[in-house]
Structure 1
Amino acid sequence: MTHFSALRTLKSMLAASLAATALLASASAIAQVTPGVLRVSAIPDEAPTELQRKFKPLGDYLAKATGLKVEFTPVTDYPAAVEGLVNKRLDLVWFGGFTFVQANVRSKGKVTPLVQRQEDTAFRSVFVTTKADITKLDDLKGKTLSFGSESSTSGHLMPRSYMLAAKIDPDADLKRVAYSGAHDATVAAVAGGKVDAGALNISVWEKLVAEKKVDPAAVRVFYTTPGYFDYNWTVHADMPAPMKKKLTDAFLALDKSTPEGKEILELQKASKFVPTKPENYSAIEAAARSAKLLK
């Protein structure tokens, strides 16, 4: 083969490769905007199987309310939930307050929080331990502590901010800080003696106690934070207004007096859903910037 024929062959191969790449990219783009499908996800603050179990009745309900096929897609970590909505690979995401702030900043204000549980207007975190000599935040000095995910509002950001307010710097004053990745994993780390204490959201703690998955006589709460705004259901700001309204109205219509509403609200650990707005999360954004956790 001559030099020129080899060059022509290489050019043909390159052109074919570029065409195939473009075709794949086009197919991917089409897949990301499948008509008639509502793509839903949630920050992985609990085990994937638990998130799926909790969402199934809500997904069926939203399908009836919107006329769309509802698909729940688990994500590997908190940043994936943020990027999924910002880049429109997801349509509706269950965020914590901090992940909402991250998505809002990352998208330059192009995400819209629709609703939150009534409980999220004054959400709280708990610190738990098995150690008799830990009875207050100050006792954590020189000890080991596990947060949840680094991007968790109730499992990291707010517990950290209340520690800082109490003049305790987790990175300087504690022997070691760990990140379990999820609230139930934090409790398991404390119960298993891997760390002296842990911080998690109060809702998961109460659920684990109620389901007898943790013994509150062995693992006990020694500090509960003040309330703050937390979780919400958020969509991309480009979602058509009629669909935003359908979703909002569906959440607000959930009522414990009906069998369907009772099942969904109990699984979501909610008394009811209420409207929310970006301004509700300004304190969380300020706490994140103060703790240098917002990039």
Structure 2
Amino acid sequence: MTLMSSIIVLTACGENNEEQGEGKASRDLFEVAVIPSQSIGEMEEGLSRLEDHLSDHLEMPVEVTHYPNYNAVVEAINYSHVDLAYFGPVTYLIAYEQSGAEAVVTQSIDGNPYYYSYIVTQPDAPWETLDELLEDVEEVDFAFGSQSSTSGFTIPGFELMERNVYENEGSYEFSSVRFTGSHDITANVVADGHVDAGAIDSAIFQALINEGAIEEEEYKIIWESQQLYQYPWAVPHDTEDDRKDQIREAFLAIDDEEILSIFGGADEFVEASHDEYDSILEAARTMGLLDPEEDEDE
């Protein structure tokens, strides 16, 4: 099976909601979409092995695609162009509110299905805490990850909004703000000094260290968020219960280190449910990331 990394054109984009489901993924091919939490080179081998593992357990061909952006994954699951999708929590909440996507599994790291958002800087930077950094905010070049990332933007962005130093992409107190698009790139631009500080997923940060992709001594953590429930794997709203059970069983059976390592250095996969993501809703709503009409109904 071939791992695809090319951009997929989603024909359902922009269509009316009543047409959701008309683009149902092929019954002869189980299609999986994965968000760009890391660059494709960091994930390719593990995703290829995941294809093989799922194919064996589901007894059908499987194609895993590393999508170019978070929104493309939301569109794919909203219109049932894929059978399964790997999201960040906020991206999942968007898909849940737009189409009823359902979380089925997540990963456990060090025996815990939680992670954090970090703000990191260089080890010789003059700040030991976020409070200290914000005293010099007008001199600080700051990096978020993707605008659709929970730990790379939503949670740290909400914190900075609460501290009145960030309003939106065009209004902030920093010297500059950039969006890198992925956590590994954020780690690199901080270490290289292209920015003074950046927001990053704690699990991916540790996994990059464990893999030798970055050096721990090149960073200093100056802020840590509350605990966040790990990234969910979700199915479209019309997925049959038997298929959900098959997917859960397939993931719970994964013990391949090549697969586990690309998902934050996971120990294993565990069952997940929608309720686990309620704590992230406030930040997502405040940041304006959820559909306003849907928000008014809840």
TM-score interval for Structure 1 and Structure 2 normalised by the shorter chain = 0.7 to 0.9
What SS does the aligned partner of 1:73 have?
strand
Would you tell me which structure has more helix in proportion to its own residues?
Answer: 1
Unaligned segments of structure 2, at least 5 residues: 1-20, 292-298
**Cα distance, 1:291 vs structure 2:** 2.3
Q: Normalising by structure 2, report the TM-score.
A: 0.80
**Separation in structure 1 between the aligned mates of residue 218 and residue 269 of structure 2, nearest angstrom:** 34
Q: Which position in structure 1 is the counterpart of 2:178? A: 178
RMSD, matched Cα: 2.2
Q: Which position in structure 2 is the counterpart of 1:20? A: none
Per-residue CA deviation, residues 222-245 of structure 1 (Å, 9 max, x unaligned), is: 222221113011110212221111
What SS does the aligned partner of 1:217 have?
helix
**Separation in structure 2 between the aligned mates of residue 132 and residue 159 of structure 1, nearest angstrom:** 19
**Cα distance, 1:263 vs structure 2:** 4.4
265, 277, 281: which one pairs with 1:281? 277
* Cα distance change on mapping 1:50 and 1:214 into 2, 3 Å: closer
With 167-176 and 266-275 compared, the bigger mean Cα shift is at 167-176
With 185-194 and 38-47 compared, the bigger mean Cα shift is at 185-194
Q: Which position in structure 2 is the counterpart of 1:272? A: 268
Q: Which position in structure 2 is the counterpart of 1:242? A: 242
What SS does the aligned partner of 2:228 have?
coil
Counterpart contact for 2:43–2:262, Cα < 8 Å: no
With 129-138 and 67-76 compared, the bigger mean Cα shift is at 129-138
**Separation in structure 2 between the aligned mates of residue 34 and residue 218 of structure 1, nearest angstrom:** 46
**Separation in structure 1 between the aligned mates of residue 206 and residue 290 of structure 2, nearest angstrom:** 29
**Separation in structure 2 between the aligned mates of residue 182 and residue 265 of structure 1, nearest angstrom:** 19
Instruction: Map residues 1-295 of structure 1 onto 2, 5 A cutoff.
Output: 33-107=25-99, 110-119=100-109, 121-130=113-122, 132-138=125-131, 139-140=133-134, 141-142=137-138, 143-166=140-163, 168-169=165-166, 171-254=171-254, 260-268=255-263, 269-295=265-291
* Cα distance change on mapping 1:183 and 1:266 into 2, 3 Å: closer
**Separation in structure 2 between the aligned mates of residue 289 and residue 33 of structure 1, nearest angstrom:** 30
**Separation in structure 1 between the aligned mates of residue 205 and residue 238 of structure 2, nearest angstrom:** 36
**Separation in structure 2 between the aligned mates of residue 277 and residue 202 of structure 1, nearest angstrom:** 22
With 30-39 and 143-152 compared, the bigger mean Cα shift is at 30-39
Counterpart contact for 1:58–1:264, Cα < 8 Å: yes
